[in-house]
Structure 1
Amino acid sequence: MEMVLRAVAIYLVLMVVFKIAGRRALLQMTSFDLILLLIISEATQQALLGNDFSVTGAALTIITLVVVDILFGLVKKYIHGAEDMIDGAPVVLVENGQLLRKKMKEADISYDDIMVSARNNQGIDTLDNIQFAILERNGHISIIPKQ
């Protein structure tokens, strides 16, 4: 039972940490981010398993994490507003070629982040050609060009 409680606790801690870190952490992964992710995974593994390195213990931990993830999926599906609370809502960063600086600051997204996405996804090289830039729940920036 201790391993199940450990798994649930670590899942919740990681969810809160990545919620605080924001979607920008998902947007671009630098070499520092990769190193940090590896360190987090090692620390998480030690916290999850404790002194029990058995196959049974690892299997129980994995099953618990998957079940908790499924439960969160069900909560998001059936409880109104839970998805916005857990995953966040899409955020409009550019409207009619104008930067919405307050929303950009809240989301920790820079002008350069928006323009990289515009160039890569739509071939747009100026802000004036962007109708909307939207930070999606998954951390990607969707660009809708002006007609």
Structure 2
Amino acid sequence: MAIDRTFDYLQWKFPWVTKMTQSVPVVLVESGTPIRQHMAKSHVDESDILSAARKSQGLSRMDQIDYAILERSGGISILPKSPAQQE
């Protein structure tokens, strides 16, 4: 408990500690195009993204995805393209 309280204090006193100890969301796909550099750095491949897309949105192809975001929790959020964008 003392270690947890110490980290809380350090994060409050020095904001840069928070940036170093907590991750931020990472965009993995933008407008249907995988961002390979972000995927490699996050150790995520296309099959992981497509699996999340199938489970959450019922999508089966990369070109149906507007954005795929790796969340701080480790999950992948999928934002599908609108029907107008898919035409």
TM-score between both structures, scaled by the size of structure 1: 0.50
Q: Distance in 2 between matches of 1:129 and 1:89?
A: 25
- Give the deviation of 1:121 after TM superposition: 1.3
Q: Deviations over 1:88-129 (max 9, x none)?
A: 211110000000001100111010111111111111111111
2:42 alignment partner in structure 1: 107
Q: Distance in 2 between matches of 1:138 and 1:113?
A: 15
Structure 2 unmatched runs, 5+:
83-87
The residue type paired with residue 38 of structure 2 is K
Which has the larger Rg? 1
**Fraction of identical pairs, as percent:** 38
2:24 alignment partner in structure 1: 89
Q: Distance in 2 between matches of 1:85 and 1:94?
A: 24
Aligned positions, number: 82
TM-score between both structures, scaled by the size of structure 2: 0.79
1:141 alignment partner in structure 2: 76
Q: CA RMSD for the aligned pairs?
A: 1.8
Q: Distance in 1 between matches of 2:59 and 2:47?
A: 13
Indicate how the Cα distance of structure 1 residues 68 and 110 shifts in structure 2: closer, same or farther if over 3 A, else same.
same
Indicate how the Cα distance of structure 1 residues 106 and 98 shifts in structure 2: closer, same or farther if over 3 A, else same.
same
The residue type paired with residue 118 of structure 1 is A
Structure 1 unmatched runs, 5+:
1-65
- Of the candidates 48, 55, 80, which is equivalent to residue 15 of structure 2? 80
Superposition pairs of residues 13-92 of structure 1, within 5 angstroms: 66-77=1-12, 79-92=14-27
